[in-house]
Amino acid sequence: MTENVLEPLDAIFSPRSIAVVGATRTAGTVPHDIFQNILEGGFQGTVYPVSPGAKSIRGVKAYKYVLDVPDPFDLAVMVFPSSVCHLAMEQCGQRGIRAAIVISAGFREVGEAGRQREQQLKGIADKYGIRIIGPNCLGGINTDPKVRLNASFARKMPDEGSIAFVSQSGALCTAVLDYARGKHIGFSKFVSFGNKCDLSEVDLIYYLGDDPATNVILVYLEELTDARGLMQAARTVIQKTGKPILALKSGRTAAGASAAASHTGSLAGPDEFCDAIFQQAGIQRCRTIEDMFHRATALAYQPRPQTNRVAIITNAGGPGVMATDAAIDYGLEMAQFSQQTRDSFKRKLPTTANTQNPVDIIGDARSDRYQAALSSILADPDVAGAMVILTPQSMTDIREIAEEVVRTARAMPEKPLYTSFMGETDVAEGIDVLQRHHIPHYILPESMAAAMAASYRFERQSRLVRRPLPLQNDVDTATARGLLEQALEQGRQHLPEVEAGPILQAYGLPMLAGQVARSPEEAVAAAAALGCPVALKIYSRDVVHKVDSGGVALGVADPAAAADIYRALIQAVQAARPEARILGVHVQKMAPPGQEVILGLKRDPVFGPMIMFGLGGTLVEVFRDVAFRAAPLDQDDLTTMIRQVKSFPLLNGARGRPPCDIPALEAAIQRLAQLAVDCPQINELDMNPVIVQSEGQGLSIADARILL
């Protein structure tokens, strides 16, 4: 009906007219307050209350039905009880709108009946092409003076600013808005999407990427439903626009890791996957709301440090040391001042000042001394960013120092400048000056250093060019798929090493040579043929953990010994797992010397195929020192996942060892990732151990299993 229909997300954030569907006259209730907030928040368009029972609400003429609204409108904000929302949605559809914010609760979050209501509502919306934010959400806010929309039940409209906040939780939003207001943090857009029955953080990230008012995007998530979509959206936005995306994901410990049959399974919780996806997406994961705003204000207000070399100015030695400790901990380095800077210190600072970095301008420093030190430091070519610490001593002219910091930051805008005025009451006025003028401020010097380090990391990451990884072309997908399909047809769930080997081989992943023996004599012959030392390992489709069942003998030095060992293994496994059907014993070459690593794959319903890498058995298990990445991988994923594990130096020639064949390892991980993408039949896969030999010598897989 509207002649010029807005795109759905434009209709949500910048509607020209709104119907508040289900508004009431009872102040202090959501259906009333939402209408009031839109009206009194200064909305620049027209708002129509739709209310079956009221003639007017807050003086504005109300309409009984959606169909009664006299003019076209862009957005429906729905506050009806959940049981009748579908009726209103039907009418909205007839009115031709493209977007609705469903504030009402009582849907999926309350159980099965609610879930059905939500499906019904979504079905009607889909029928008419209406996109939904919600249900069960706080609503949305747009601070743009040309719009000024507070379609939410937040008490107050936030200040205008360049940070966008996107939240799954509505209740958290109220705390965030209050926290931010006290610190003069402004927002461009603010939205809670609740049950995300339709539009989700993925759509919002794309939208905010294109939004000229938004420079930093914050996301609070409770459940990740479309991990790959999120990754793609974040990558696209960061790459195209350079806007940082910060996310807080709660529910970290509610792992509920189901009893997993593979190593990869037991080491992989949803939280590790989430870390991997965020890393690959370029999303900065924050641990608390405070951490998130500490980083966000730094990124939104200031340029990013171009190197990790920073300077600290303080009027108190102790806090200077604390900040330095933290800076080093977080990966920053202390800049070395130039001769010019040192000369300038000599002229301008008292002789008792400590002119090393951190620069201690002494307890009686006033604003002139702060200004002198700060401008010298910011002009120093080795300094990529400055951090200013103040403690409220008797001589300290706190407000003047704050104003001087603001002036200096304005005068030298190319380098970041953060502050920590320590205390609460005495420093409050100074902090207020800083925050009003968008100088990032932190009560703790440690938090200031953490934020500077995060800004630097984002700067470094944003320079990264992701090199696509050319596919390994010598893989035989048809063979691998054929073997897997055949196993599936047989109703198999587990492929032991003997059967996993050919599939891996098809992807150029080399298992150590071996033969299946079905008698002691065959074991002796196999050992002789392969050449001792060999390993003997039980071959049974029913035994997933061979070692635990007594089914493995390593380092058999003499072919003749293989007969007795064959018998002993069979006996041990029969005792431990009487129900297991034993198909023989796998006689296999012992691995050449090298570093043991584990490679794994786990396919997750939310995260998709995830690749795991870690070092040797005990290291993996005790330290959980493993890295995950979502397949397919690019070169950066490969490089960083191998180097991210703490034990990487063991691969790289620690303590005079020969460095391992890292290119071969990278190629193997890449082949595994291709296998993961090409063969969705594989649910989990372990290659453990894989022996990485020294440079140029390649690697060998000593054991493997596949779970279908």
**Residues in region 630-669 near a copy of itself by CB under 8 A:** 646-647, 649-650, 654-656
Alpha carbon distance 688, 136 (integer Å): 46
Alpha carbon distance 198, 78 (integer Å): 15
CB 341, CB 364: distance < 8 Å: no
- Applying CB under 8 A, among 45, 72, 186, 251 the residue interacting with a copy of itself is 251
Q: How far is the CB of 619 from a copy of itself (least distance, A)?
A: 7
**Window 146-205: residues binding a copy of itself (CB under 8 A):** 153, 155, 167-172, 174-183
Alpha carbon distance 651, 699 (integer Å): 12
The token pair that represents 580 in the structure block: 């297991």
- Applying CB under 8 A, among 63, 220, 337, 566 the residue interacting with a copy of itself is 220
- Would you say 498 or 702 has its CB closer to a copy of itself? 702
Secondary structure (3-state) at 99 = strand
CB 672, CB 685: distance < 8 Å: yes
- Applying CB under 8 A, among 8, 392, 514, 689 the residue interacting with a copy of itself is 392
113 binds a copy of itself, rule: CB under 8 A: no
**Which listed range, 227-235, 288-296, 433-441, 659-667, lies at the site for a copy of itself (CB under 8 A)?**
288-296
Could you tell me where the DSSP H helices lie in 584-688? 617-623, 635-644, 648-651, 662-678
Alpha carbon distance 94, 260 (integer Å): 50
- Would you say 142 or 169 has its CB closer to a copy of itself? 169
**Window 311-350: residues binding a copy of itself (CB under 8 A):** 315-319, 321-322, 324-325, 328-329
**Which listed range, 122-130, 390-398, 514-522, 690-698, lies at the site for a copy of itself (CB under 8 A)?**
390-398
**Window 13-52: residues binding a copy of itself (CB under 8 A):** 28, 30, 33
How many Cα atoms within 13 Å fall on the side-chain side of residue 360? 15
Q: x/- contact string, 520-549, with a copy of itself (CB under 8 A)?
A: ---------------------------xx-
479 binds a copy of itself, rule: CB under 8 A: no
- Applying CB under 8 A, among 116, 225, 352, 486 the residue interacting with a copy of itself is 352
- Would you say 466 or 643 has its CB closer to a copy of itself? 643
Here the contacts of 460-468 (C-beta below 8 Å, separation 24 or greater) are: 461/282, 462/238, 462/242, 462/244, 462/282, 464/636, 466/235, 466/239, 466/634, 466/635, 466/636, 467/634, 467/635, 467/636, 468/634, 468/635
- Applying CB under 8 A, among 203, 272, 446, 636 the residue interacting with a copy of itself is 446
| Separation in Å, CA 347 to CA 312, 351, 355, 610 | 19, 9, 11, 60
Residue 495 CB contacts under 8 Å (≥ 6 apart), including other chains:
487, 503, 541, 705, 706, 707, 708
Could you tell me where the DSSP H helices lie in 248-357? 263-267, 270-281, 289-301, 317-329, 339-348
The token pair that represents 155 in the structure block: 């008490």
- Applying CB under 8 A, among 275, 403, 476, 621 the residue interacting with a copy of itself is 621
- Applying CB under 8 A, among 186, 303, 363, 502 the residue interacting with a copy of itself is 363
**Which listed range, 39-47, 78-86, 389-397, 408-416, lies at the site for a copy of itself (CB under 8 A)?**
389-397
- Would you say 35 or 206 has its CB closer to a copy of itself? 35
The H or E element containing residue 248 is strand 245-249
Q: x/- contact string, 542-581, with a copy of itself (CB under 8 A)?
A: -----xx---------------------------------
**Total of chain residues touching a copy of itself, rule CB under 8 A:** 76
